[in-house]
Each structure stands twice: as C-alpha cells, then as structure tokens.
Structure 1
Amino acid sequence: MRELSEHLMDLVQNSRRAGARLIEISVRALVETDQLVLQVKDDGSGIGPELLERVTDPYATTRTTRPVGLGLPLLKELCELTGGSLSIRSLPQEGTTVEAALGLNHIDRLPLGDIGSTLSLLVLADPDQDYRLVLDSPRGRLDLATADIRSQLQDVPLREPSVLDWLTGYVYEQQEIIFGGVLHEITSRTGSHS
C-alpha cells in the first residue's frame, strides 16, 4: 500500500464484512506529540478473544478466499517503523476499534492520500452504509456523516454521480485546509495557518 487512505479502505472493508451499520473513520494530526492517528470504529460483530490475540499475524484470517490477511500486519509494521503502535479493541457483538498511531513527521510515514476519493468509493460500493468521517488538526476539523447527507438529499441517492463528485471535492478541499501540504501530505506546519 502506498498511501494511508488505502490502509483506511482495508480497515473499512473489514468492518463491512463484520456487518457494521455505522463505520466511523477519523484522522487526527496531534502536533504536540508528533503523531498521526488513524482510527476506524464500527458496531459490527466484533472479534473473539482468541482471534484478537492473533489478528496481526498474516496467517490469522477469517477469509475463506485465501489463507492470509495482510492488512493489519502491514499496518502494524508501518506504525512501528514510524515509532508508533497499532491497537485493536473488540468485543463480540459490540464492534471493533482499530487505532494506528504513526510518527507525524517520520520519514517512513506514508502520505495520507485522497480521503475524499476513498470515501466516495466506499459510498459507491454500498450507498446504504452509514459512515462518519472526522478529520482533525490544529488548523481545523471536519465532521461529516453520510446519514446527514442522505437526509438533506431526500430522494437523491448518494451514488448519484453529481453527489459523489461533490463529496470527493468537498472532502478533498477540507483535507487541504485541515492538514495542508501538496499531494495529500500532512505538513509539519499543521499548527500554523501560513
């Protein structure tokens, strides 16, 4: 994976497979502790204690299509490579929270990527799925829920091309304002408005 948005996509796919109704995605730049924290929280079926102990092992997977699952092991390795950590909390029938803390200014941290396009692809795949996206830094905050958008649009479906174009563009603009930088990168100047 070349961007963190691809890791977020992978985590969200795990949540969807677990039957989540609401999937919350947050990206927070914590300048004071030099951390970038990605979190995906869901209300899906959760992970039992036995699998939870082994979930970052590439050979521990619930998939039936192939015998390996590399998403969480790769994310854990990336977190540790940048001086961060990966934590997973889960209770059966209550949901799962995956939190990846990475070094904000570490040279090995991947670029964030295009969160707007990622969210639009997720909506296109299942427009009835509820998502909440939070982007947060000292420069600003976005808190966007697809349920609110759906309510405002009434009879217009979320997968309507003009709605997806708006969603992609709006999140892209907010990402630039909140995190700064070019090529969807988070700059070390996240705390200033220059």
Structure 2
Amino acid sequence: MKELSLHILDVVQNSIRAQASLVKIEINEDIKKDLLEIKIRDNGHGMDAATLQKVLDPFYTTRTTRKVGLGIPLFAQAAKSCGGDFKIFSQKGKGTEIVASFILSHIDRAPIGSMADTMVSLIAMRPDVDFVYRHCVGDRGFVLDTREIKKTLEEVPINNPMVIDWIKEFIEQNLNEINGGA
C-alpha cells in the first residue's frame, strides 16, 4: 500500500469484522526521537493464542471470500522495512491492539496519507461504531471522538453528509495546525 492511512483502514475494517463497537487510532510523530508510532486498539472479540500466532502469515485468513490475508503482514513488513517494529496483542473476548513503529525520516517510509479521508470513510460506512482518533506531532495534537460528536448531534445521524463534511474539515484543519500550518 502506498500510504499508511490505507493500512490503518484495512486494520480497522478487521476490527469491525471482529464486532468492535469502539476503535481507537493513535498516531504519534515524535520528531526528536525520529519515530512514528501507530496504535490501533479495539474492543472486538479478540483472538486466542493459536490464531494470534498465525495472523502474520499471509496465507492465513478467517475470511471466506479469499484464501490469503495480506493486510496485517504487509503492514508489519512496511514497519520493519523502515527500521521500525510491529507488535500485535490480543485476548479472546477483550479485543486486539496493533502497534507499528517506523523511523520517521526513513527514505522508504510511506507517507501517512489522508487520515481525513480514512476517518470519514470509516464513520460514513459504520455510524454504529465509535472511533477515537488521536494524532500528535511533537507536543501538538488533537482528538476526534465520535462519541462526543454523537452526543452533540442528538437526533442527527453522524453519517449525515453535512456532518461528514464537517468532520473531514475538522481533521484537515487540525492536521494542518499540528504540522505547523496556520
């Protein structure tokens, strides 16, 4: 995948297939440590130890539509090929957490891509799932929490096109600010 946001989209879709009602996405760009860390945590049904051992095998999948599951192995390879690491933790009945780290300045590191597009795609497709997206660059950061937005909206659905447009603009403006823009 050409952008890390597409890896995030793929992993979150796995979380949704695992019946997660809450998915937390955290991106931390630590300039001083030259480290990019992406964490994705869900409260889905989780995996037992045997399944967890197989998840990095590209020829293992729980899906019936195809015989390979390349998403997680490709994400792991992307991290490791850029001097980073990839870890996955899961507990049956509790959920799963993925932590991918990258050398921020590594020449082969894919760009983060459009997190605004990734988040609005997820929210529009699955308004029944709650998402918390936290993004930090150095000591600047912001949080988007769909639970808070839903409270404010009351009867208006979060996947209403006007709300989706607002969410996309909110993310884009905040990303611009934390990256040093006006």
Following TM superposition, by how much is the alpha carbon of 1:173 offset from its aligned partner in structure 2, in angstroms? 1.3
Once the two structures are superposed, what CA deviation does each residue of 1:115-147 show, in whole Å capped at 9, x if it has no partner?
A: 111111101111111000000122511112101
Tell me the equivalent position of 2:165.
165
After superposition, the Cα gap between the structure-2 partners of 1:180 and 1:60, relative to the gap in structure 1 and judged at 3 Å, is farther
The alignment's TM-score, normalised by the length of structure 1, stands at 0.90
Do 1:60 and 1:69's aligned partners in 2 also have CA atoms closer than 8 Å?
yes
Tell me the equivalent position of 1:152.
152
Q: Classify the secondary structure of the residue corresponding to 1:32.
A: coil
Q: In the aligned structure 1, how far is the partner of 2:27 from the partner of 2:94?
A: 22
| Residues 1:94 and 2:94 are matched in the alignment | yes
Q: In the aligned structure 2, how far is the partner of 1:180 from the partner of 1:112?
A: 16
Once the two structures are superposed, what CA deviation does each residue of 1:37-60 show, in whole Å capped at 9, x if it has no partner?
A: 111100110011011112111011
Do 1:45 and 1:95's aligned partners in 2 also have CA atoms closer than 8 Å?
yes
| Residues 1:63 and 2:92 are matched in the alignment | no
Question: How many residues get paired?
Answer: 182
Q: In the aligned structure 1, how far is the partner of 2:59 from the partner of 2:101?
A: 23
Q: In the aligned structure 2, how far is the partner of 1:96 from the partner of 1:156?
A: 31
Runs of 4 or more consecutive aligned structure 1 residues displaced over 4 Å after TM superposition = none
Tell me the equivalent position of 2:122.
122
Do 2:136 and 2:142's aligned partners in 1 also have CA atoms closer than 8 Å?
yes
Q: In the aligned structure 1, how far is the partner of 2:26 from the partner of 2:62?
A: 25
Tell me the equivalent position of 2:25.
25
The alignment's TM-score, normalised by the length of structure 2, stands at 0.96
Tell me the equivalent position of 2:138.
138
Do 1:139 and 1:177's aligned partners in 2 also have CA atoms closer than 8 Å?
no
Tell me the equivalent position of 1:46.
46
Q: In the aligned structure 2, how far is the partner of 1:60 from the partner of 1:163?
A: 38
Do 2:32 and 2:138's aligned partners in 1 also have CA atoms closer than 8 Å?
no
The one-letter amino acid paired with 2:18 is: A
- Structure 2: stretches of 5+ with no match in the other structure: none
Q: Classify the secondary structure of the residue corresponding to 1:60.
A: coil
Do 2:23 and 2:132's aligned partners in 1 also have CA atoms closer than 8 Å?
yes
Do 1:51 and 1:60's aligned partners in 2 also have CA atoms closer than 8 Å?
no
Aligned identity (percent) is 37
Q: Classify the secondary structure of the residue corresponding to 2:32.
A: helix
